[in-house]
C-alpha cells in the first residue's frame, strides 16, 4: 500500500515535471509558437495508446489460450485505458491543427486509422455491456479484440495506399525531421511521463476489475453458505477471501 | 497448481487429435459409458446453478434427477451433453474403470464422446421450418449414419409420425414435436441418454410409447439421466433417484439403493 | 467426418431453410435497392458524377444490406436452441461456421445479382466488357463481408440489442474492405477500364487474414 502510494506520487511528480518542461523549457517553435507545445502530449498519448491496445491484444489471446479470468480483466483494462488515450489524442489533434493548418480535421491516413481504431474499441466496450453471461462476455469480447487488432494494420495500409493516390494535405511538415535537441529531450520526458501514467492507470483498472471479481466471488460464497449478507455472520467467507 | 498446468499442456494436443479420432469412431459406440461429476460448480455471473455436485453414474444406470425448478437439473444435463463447461470441478466419461474423456474447468481432455450422447432438451432442438423427415435426415447426416433413408423412416414410424413425414415441424402439436425431439435424440443410438423433462407435452398415448422406448434402451444397457419434477410412468424404470436442491445433491438413493422412497416422496408432493 | 463434408451438410440445410421462405433474400434485395434509390436523391446520378460516386454507393449498399442480412444467421438458431444440436453433433465447430459463411456468401451473391444490373441501369453505367472482372471483385469483397459478418453474427447473437450491435461491430471493421472494393470497382468503371492489381490483392489479403482468424477462433466463438 505504501509502495503504491510512493509510486503514484513519483509518477505525479514526473508528469508535473513533463508539463513544466513542455510549457517552459522547450524552445519556442519558429512558425507555430505556443500552440506547438501541445505536440509533446499529443504524441505521447498516441504512444501510450498503442502500448495499451497492444496489452489488450496480448491479454485477449492469452485469455483464449488459458481461459484465466485475470487475462480478461487485463484485456478490458487495456482497452479502456487505450480508448482514454485515444480520446485525448483525438481531442488534442484538432486543437493543434485548427490554428496551424486552419482545419479541424483532415482525412489523412494516420488520423483516419486512429478514428476507426477508436470506433472499433468503443464497439468492444459496447459489446461487453450488452452480453450478460460473464464467461461469454469474456470470450466473445476477446475474439472481437483480436479481430479488431488484426484489422488495424489493414485499415492503416488501405488508407496509406488510398491517400497517396489523391492530393495529400500537408501534414505536420515532417515534424521528426528538424527537431531541436532540447525539444527531443522534452519529448522523451513527456513520452516517459505519459507512458508511466498510462501504466499506473492500467494497473489500477486491472486491480479494480479483479476486486470486482473477488467481490462477486464473496457474494457468491455468502449466498452459497446460506448466510445473510446483511448479518455480521458473513465473516468466514470474508476471511477466506482475504487469504 | 502443477496438475492443471499439465492438463492445459495436453489439452491443445488432445483437441488437435480429437478431430481425426472422431472421424474414425464408429457411429454406434458400445453401450457402456458412465458419467461422473466431480465437485462440479457452475455459475452464471453471480447466480449459482450448481454448488459442488459429486455424482458417479455407472454405465447402465437409469437415474431420475428430481428437484424443484432452479435446482440445477438442466445445468447438470447440459454439462453432461458437453454443451457447457463447469466453472469448477470436472465431468468425466468412463468406460468401466477407464476414463475416456473429461472436462476440467474450461478444458476438455481426450476425445469428446459426442457420438455416444443424446439429449432431449428443454427446447425441441428441431428446425420449425423443416419437415419431420428433413430434420431427422439432417442429423442422421451430421452423425454420419449408414442407410440414412431407412434409419429415418424407421425412427419416424417408431414415434408414430409416419403419416406426417412431409409436414413442417411448425405445424405440429406440442406432443408431436416432443415425440420427434425424442426420436431425433435417439437417432444415432447413443449410449448415454440425457432427458430434460422429456414427458412435457406428451399425452397418455405418447407417454406409453416413450416409456416403452425407454424400457428398450434400458435393457440395451444405455445409461439414462432423466430430469423431472412431476410424476410419470417412465419413472418406474429408474434404478436410482437423485434429488437436487439449490444446486446441491440433497438426497441420493445410490447405485445399489432403492429409489422408490424418493420417487414416492415426489408422487405425494404432486 | 471431414470438415468439408460437415460444412456441406450445414450449407445444404441453410439453403433449404432459406429457399423455403426466401424471406431473408427478398428483404435484402429490397433493402439494397432502397439504399441505391435513396442515394440518387443525395447525389446527382448523371453519368460523370456516377462514375465518381457509383462504386462507393454500390459498396455502401452491399455493406449495409449485408450487416442486416447476416444477423439472423445465428439468431435464428436460437428459436429451438438448434445451435446446441449442431454443437452436440460430432463435427468441428469450424464446419458449422464454414457452412454458414458459404450459405451467406450465396445469399449475398444472389442479392448482388439483382442489385448490380439495376444499379448499372439507374446510374447509367455500362457493364459491357468488364463483367467478369467485376464479378471477381464482387466475389472477393462479398467473401470478406460474409466471413467477418458471419463471425460477428455469432458474437452478437448472445447480446442484447443484437440487430443494432452487429452493424456497430462489423462496419468499422470493414473499412479496409470498403476502400479496396470501391477502388477496384472504380478502376473498372473508369474511362479506360483496367483492374487495379494492388487493390485486388488487398481484397484477397483481407479475405485470407479473416478467414484464417475465424478458423483459429471458431472454437471460442461457438463454445458456451
**Total length of chain B:** 270
Report yes or no: B41 at the C interface, CB cutoff 8 Å.
no
- And the C-alpha cell for C69? 442480412
Any chain A CB within 8 A of the CB of C93? no
For A40-52, the pLDDT digits (tens) are: 888 888 889 999 9
The alpha-carbon radius of gyration of chain C (Å, integer) is 18
Residue B11, pLDDT score: 36
Say if B134 is an interface residue toward chain C (CB within 8 Å): yes
What's residue A143's pLDDT?
Answer: 94
A118: distance to nearest CA of chain C, Å?
10
d(CA C34, CA C139): 22
Q: Which residues pair with B50 in a beta bridge?
A: B42
What letter does residue A193 receive in the DSSP assignment? H
pLDDT of B239 over the 50 cut: yes
**Does C59 touch chain A if contact means CB atoms closer than 8 Å?**
no
Q: Are A7 and A200 in contact (CB under 8 A)?
A: yes
Task: Please tell me the distance in Å from C18's CA to the nearest CA on chain A.
Answer: 27
Predicted confidence (pLDDT) at residue A166 exceeds the cutoff of 60: no
Q: Check residue A236 and give its pLDDT.
A: 46
Surface-to-core class of residue C79, CB atoms within 10 Å of its CB (0-12 exposed, 13-18 middle, 19+ buried): middle
Q: How many separate helices (H) and strands (E) can be counted in chain C?
A: 10, 0
Write down the pLDDT at residue C204.
94
**Mean pLDDT, residues B138-162:** 89
Closest CA to B91 of B107, B80, B77: B80
CA distance, residue A119 to nearest chain C CA (Å)? 7
Distance CA A222, CA A236 (A): 9
For residue C9, give the nearest of B23, B117, B142 by CB distance: B142
- Local confidence band at A60 (pLDDT 50, 70, 90 cut-offs): very high
State residue A218's pLDDT score. Answer: 84
Most confident of the following: A131-140, B10-19, C145-154: C145-154
Give the residue from B50, B9, B23, B105 showing the smallest Cα distance to B247.
Answer: B50
Q: Kindly list the distances between the CA atom of residue C223 and the CA atoms of A4, B125, C157, in Å, as whole numbers in the listed order.
A: 39, 17, 13
The reply to whether residue C176 touches residue A133, judged by beta carbons under 8 angstroms, is no
Cβ-based contacts of A216 with chain B (< 8 Å): 45-46
Q: Which residues of A touch C217 (CB under 8 A)?
A: 64, 143, 146-147
Helices H / strands E in chain B, number of each: 7, 11
> Do residues C74 and C157 lie in contact, with contact meaning Cβ atoms separated by under 8 Å?
yes
For residue B97, the model assigns a pLDDT of: 58
Stretch B114-131: mean pLDDT: 89
Mean pLDDT of A80-88: 92
**A56: three-class secondary structure by DSSP:** helix
Residues 57-116 of A with CB under 8 A from C: 64, 116
Has residue B22 got a pLDDT over 80? no
Residue A224: which of B8, B51, B87 has the nearest Cβ?
A: B51
- Interchain CB distance below 8 Å, A224 and B105: no
- The domains of chain C are located at 3-221
CB contact under 8 A, B83 and C80: no
Please name the residue of chain A whose CA is at the shortest distance from the CA of residue C221: A140
Chains that touch B (3 or more CB pairs under 8 A): A, C
pLDDT tens for B64-74 read: 888 888 888 89
Is residue C162 predicted with pLDDT exceeding 90? no
CB-based burial of residue C42 (10 Å sphere; 0-12 exposed, 13-18 middle, 19+ buried)? exposed
Residue A61, number of CB atoms within 10 A of its CB:
17
- Answer yes or no: do C90 and B114 touch at CB < 8 A: yes
Residue tagged 483480436 (cell numbers): A146
Domain spans in chain A, listed from the N-terminal domain onward: 13-166+179-197
Do A220 and B106 count as a contact with CB atoms less than 8 A apart? no
Interface contact flag, B81 C80, Cβ < 8 Å? no
Give B255 to chain C, closest Cα distance, Å: 28
Q: Which cell numbers hold the place of A128?
A: 461487453
* DSSP assigned state of A24: I
Residues near B254 by Cβ (< 8 Å), separated by ≥ 6? B240
Which chain B residues contact residue C17 at CB under 8 A? Answer: 127, 129-130
In this predicted model, what pLDDT tens digit does every residue of A171-196 receive, in sequence order?
444 444 556 777 788 888 888 988 89
Q: In what order do the strands lie in the sheet with B107-109?
A: B47-57, B34-44, B88-95, B98-104, B107-109
ipTM: 0.90
Tallying the residues shown for chain A, one arrives at 243
Separation between Cα atoms, residue A87 and residue B46, nearest integer Å = 33
Max mean pLDDT range (B13-22, C79-88, C133-142, C191-200) = C133-142
Return the closest-CA partner of residue B154 out of B168, B140, B141, B167.
Answer: B140
Q: How many CA atoms lie within 13 A of C35 on its CB side?
A: 20
What per-residue confidence (pLDDT) applies to A124? 95
Q: Which three cell numbers stand for residue B210?
A: 416413450
Length of chain C: 224
Interaxial angle between packed helices C131-156 and C197-222, expressed in degrees from 0 to 180 and rounded to the nearest 10: 20
For the cut 60, the answer to whether the pLDDT of residue B19 exceeds it is no
Q: What span, in angstroms and rounded, lies between the C-alpha atoms of C63 and C53?
A: 15
Mean pLDDT of B158-165: 86
Contact A40, A125 (CB under 8 A): no
**pLDDT mean over A70-97:** 90
3-state secondary structure of B208: helix
SS3 C115: helix
Contacts of B87 in chain A (CB under 8 A): 135
Whether C81 and B184 lie within 8 Å, measured CB to CB? no
Q: Evaluate if residue B267 carries a pLDDT over 80.
A: no
| Domains of chain B with CATH codes | 32-269 (3.40.50.300)
pLDDT in tens, B166-179: 889 999 998 889 99
Q: Do A140 and C221 touch (CB under 8 A)?
A: yes
CB A183 within 8 A of CB A27: yes
Taking CA atoms, C6 is separated from B17, B24, B125, B181, C89, in Å, by 18, 15, 18, 21, 10
Amino acid at each position: 500500500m505504501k509502495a503504491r502510494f510512493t509510486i503514484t506520487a513519483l509518477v505525479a511528480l514526473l508528469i508535473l515535471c513533463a508539463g513544466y518542461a513542455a510549457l517552459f523549457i522547450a524552445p519556442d517553435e519558429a512558425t507555430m509558437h505556443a500552440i506547438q507545445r501541445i505536440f509533446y502530449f499529443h504524441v505521447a498519448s498516441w504512444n501510450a495508446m498503442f502500448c495499451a491496445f497492444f496489452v489488450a491484444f496480448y491479454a485477449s489471446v492469452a485469455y483464449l489460450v488459458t481461459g484465466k479470468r485475470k487475462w480478461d480483466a487485463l484485456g478490458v483494462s487495456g482497452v479502456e485505458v487505450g480508448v482514454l488515450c485515444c480520446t485525448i489524442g483525438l481531442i488534442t489533434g484538432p486543437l493543434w491543427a485548427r490554428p496551424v493548418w486552419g482545419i479541424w480535421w483532415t482525412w489523412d491516413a494516420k488520423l483516419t486509422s486512429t478514428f476507426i481504431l477508436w470506433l472499433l474499441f468503443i464497439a468492444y466496450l459496447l459489446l461487453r455491456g450488452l452480453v450478460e453471461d460473464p464467461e461469454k462476455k469474456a470470450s466473445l469480447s476477446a475474439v472481437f479484440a483480436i479481430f479488431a487488432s488484426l484489422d488495424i494494420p489493414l485499415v492503416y495500409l488501405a488508407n496509406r495506399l488510398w491517400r497517396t493516390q489523391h492530393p495529400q494535405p500537408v501534414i505536420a511538415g515532417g515534424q521528426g525531421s528538424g527537431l531541436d535537441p532540447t525539444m527531443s529531450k522534452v519529448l522523451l520526458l513527456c513520452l516517459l511521463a505519459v507512458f508511466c501514467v498510462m501504466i499506473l492507470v492500467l494497473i489500477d483498472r486491472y486491480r479494480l476489475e479483479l476486486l470486482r471479481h473477488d467481490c462477486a466471488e464473496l457474494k457468491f460464497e455468502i449466498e452459497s453458505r446460506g448466510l445473510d449478507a446483511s448479518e455480521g455472520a458473513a465473516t468466514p467467507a470474508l476471511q477466506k477471501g482475504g487469504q | 497448481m502443477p496438475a492443471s498446468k499439465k492438463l492445459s499442456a495436453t489439452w491443445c494436443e488432445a483437441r488437435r487429435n480429437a478431430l481425426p479420432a472422431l472421424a474414425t469412431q464408429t457411429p454406434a459406440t458400445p453401450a457402456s459409458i458412465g458419467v461422473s461429476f466431480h465437485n462440479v460448480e457452475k455459475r452464471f455471473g453471480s447466480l449459482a446453478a450448481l454448488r459442488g455436485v459429486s455424482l458417479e453414474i455407472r454405465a447402465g444406470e437409469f437415474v431420475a434427477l428430481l428437484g424443484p425448478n432452479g435446482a440445477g437439473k438442466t445445468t447438470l444435463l447440459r454439462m453432461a451433453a458437453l454443451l457447457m463447461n463447469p466453472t469448477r470441478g470436472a465431468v468425466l466419461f468412463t468406460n468401466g474403470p477407464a476414463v475416456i474423456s473429461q472436462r476440467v474447468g474450461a478444458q476438455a481432455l481426450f476425445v469428446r464422446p459426442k457420438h455416444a450422447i443424446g439429449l432431449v432438451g428443454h427446447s425441441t432442438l428441431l428446425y420449425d421450418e423443416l419437415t419431420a423427415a428433413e430434420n431427422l435426415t439432417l442429423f442422421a447426416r451430421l452423425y454420419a449414419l449408414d442407410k440414412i433413408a431407412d434409419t429415418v423412416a424407421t425412427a419416424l414410424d417408431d414415434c408414430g409420425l409416419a403419416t406426417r413425414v412431409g409436414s413442417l415441424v411448425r405445424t405440429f402439436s406440442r406432443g408431436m414435436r416432443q415425440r420427434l425431439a425424442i426420436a431425433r435424440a435417439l437417432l444415432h443410438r447413443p449410449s448415454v441418454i440425457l432427458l430434460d423433462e422429456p414427458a412435457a407435452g406428451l399425452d397418455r398415448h405418447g407417454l406409453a410409447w416413450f416409456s416403452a422406448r425407454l424400457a428398450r434402451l434400458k435393457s440395451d444397457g444405455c445409461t439414462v439421466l432423466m430430469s423431472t419434477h412431476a410424476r410419470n410412468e417412465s419413472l418406474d424404470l429408474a434404478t436410482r433417484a437423485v434429488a437436487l436442491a439449490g444446486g446441491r445433491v440433497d438426497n441420493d438413493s445410490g447405485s445399489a439403493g432403492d429409489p422408490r422412497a424418493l420417487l414416492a416422496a415426489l408422487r405425494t408432493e404432486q | 467426418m471431414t470438415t468439408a463434408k460437415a460444412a456441406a451438410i450445414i450449407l445444404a440445410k441453410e439453403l433449404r431453410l432459406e429457399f423455403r421462405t426466401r424471406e431473408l433474400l427478398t428483404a435484402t434485395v429490397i433493402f439494397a435497392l432502397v439504399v441505391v434509390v435513396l442515394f440518387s436523391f443525395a447525389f446527382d446520378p448523371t453519368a460523370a458524377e456516377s462514375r465518381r460516386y457509383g462504386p462507393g454507393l454500390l459498396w455502401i449498399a452491399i455493406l449495409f444490406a449485408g450487416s442486416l442480412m447476416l444477423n439472423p444467421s445465428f439468431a435464428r438458431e436460437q428459436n429451438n436452441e438448434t445451435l446446441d444440436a449442431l454443437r452436440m453433433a460430432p463435427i468441428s465447430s469450424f464446419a458449422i461456421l464454414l457452412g454458414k459463411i458459404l450459405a451467406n456468401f450465396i445469399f449475398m451473391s444472389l442479392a448482388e445479382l439483382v442489385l448490380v444490373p439495376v444499379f448499372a441501369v439507374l446510374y447509367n453505367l455500362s457493364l459491357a466488357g468488364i463483367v467478369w472482372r467485376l464479378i471477381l471483385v464482387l466475389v472477393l469483397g462479398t467473401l470478406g463481408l460474409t466471413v467477418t459478418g458471419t463471425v460477428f453474427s455469432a458474437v452478437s447473437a448472445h447480446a442484447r440489442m443484437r440487430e443494432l450491435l452487429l452493424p456497430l461491430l462489423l462496419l468499422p471493421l470493414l473499412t479496409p474492405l470498403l476502400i479496396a472494393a470501391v477502388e477496384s470497382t472504380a478502376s473498372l468503371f473508369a474511362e479506360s477500364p483496367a483492374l487495379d492489381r494492388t487493390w485486388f490483392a488487398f481484397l484477397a489479403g483481407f479475405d485470407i487474414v479473416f478467414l484464417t482468424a475465424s478458423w483459429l477462433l471458431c472454437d471460442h466463438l461457438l463454445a458456451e
